[in-house]
A = this chain, B = another copy of it.
């Protein structure tokens, strides 16, 4: 009895978490859209900027692969990001591949960006204050592993 009920309630709980995850992604993307509008950047520009900030410096083609975009599309995105002072294109004449360009995230406008996320950041601070250290660690670990699962799933869909 207990095990049956338990299995059923766990399934419900898991489904609920998946739905919440979808809703969260959607809401955060809506927030990103507002932020991008203030900065005159497209959603995809912010997506790419985030990749460069987290995984950069990298080449435009590596960025294109990671973002699932055509290399020519990335050229246009980088033009906008560079024009706005968000990234720099670096060519290294002494590098191993002189065709390659390295895209590096600049910090010049970080404060501005942080400012636009301030509302969310403050709300999160308040929310997180209600958790003890163990719970925070649990959340961090869950987010990290879910992201990793997302990366795998994305790559699987991207192949072919």
Contact = CB atoms under 8 A, between A and B. Distances in A.
A50 to B, nearest CB: 5
A26 B13 CA distance: 24
Interface string A88-108: 000000000000000000000
A121 B125 CA distance: 29
Q: Is the interface of A mostly helix, strand, loop or mixed?
A: helix
A124 B146 CA distance: 7
Interface residues of A, number: 68
Interface in A120-160: 120-121, 123-125, 127-128, 131, 133, 135-140, 142-147, 149-154, 156-158
Interface string A6-18: 1001100110111
18 contacts: A10-B136, A13-B128, A13-B140, A16-B140, A18-B121, A20-B143, A21-B143, A24-B143, A24-B150, A25-B25, A25-B29, A30-B68, A31-B150, A119-B157, A120-B150, A120-B153, A127-B142, A139-B142
